[in-house]
Amino acid sequence: MSEIKTALMADIKACMKSGDKDRLAVLRLVSAAVKQREVDDRVETDDPAMIAILDKMAKQRRESIEQFNKGGRDDLAAVEQKELEIIQAYLPQQLTDDEIQTLIDEAVAETGASEIRDMGKVMGKLKPQLQGRADMSAVSAKIKSKLGG
């Protein structure tokens, strides 16, 4: 069993004992997503798969926060922000903008990318390194601007 999944299950039990209903609800959502993936793919979830699931859930929360803020629904944005913080606690440490830019520069140099149609090569090289450690849509935007898109 993955270390992240083990920690998640232990935290669910701790929340049940302490009565932290808000945190428990978010952890159960994560647990349900993991179980769904295991049933659909008929596999035991390892840490890279856990990071992919958590990263997807974090991205959904970020998009919801943006939409709620645009719609003037600060109350709902605050709820999504709390969920995002709980989910991010299980993801690896986020990279800084400088670290991301350095990795992008290295990937562009290694792949020989020079124009926007080479973006797939660069993203393919970066995704394993950045999954769960950076907002991939922001990374994509940085690559586009670097390649002149």
Residue 1 pLDDT greater than 90, yes or no: no
Domain hosting residue 115, numbered range: 97-146
Q: What is the DSSP string of the chain?
A: --HHHHHHHHHHHHHHHHT-HHHHHHHHHHHHHHHHHHHHHTS---HHHHHHHHHHHHHHHHHHHHHHHHTT-HHHHHHHHHHHHHHHTTSPPPPPHHHHHHHHHHHHHHHT--SGGGHHHHHHHHHHHHTTTS-HHHHHHHHHHHTT-
| 91 contacts 58 by C-beta, under 8 angstroms | yes
Residue 118 pLDDT greater than 80, yes or no: yes
Residue 146 pLDDT greater than 90, yes or no: no
Identify whether residues 54 and 126 lie together within a single domain.
no
| 64 contacts 48 by C-beta, under 8 angstroms | no
Please report, for the domain that includes residue 142, its CATH number: 1.10.10.410
Each residue's pLDDT tens digit, 48-62:
889 989 989 999 999
Identify whether residues 49 and 116 lie together within a single domain.
no
Q: Which residue has the higher pLDDT, 112 or 85?
A: 85
**pTM for the whole thing?**
0.79
Identify whether residues 9 and 72 lie together within a single domain.
yes
pLDDT for the residue numbered 39:
93
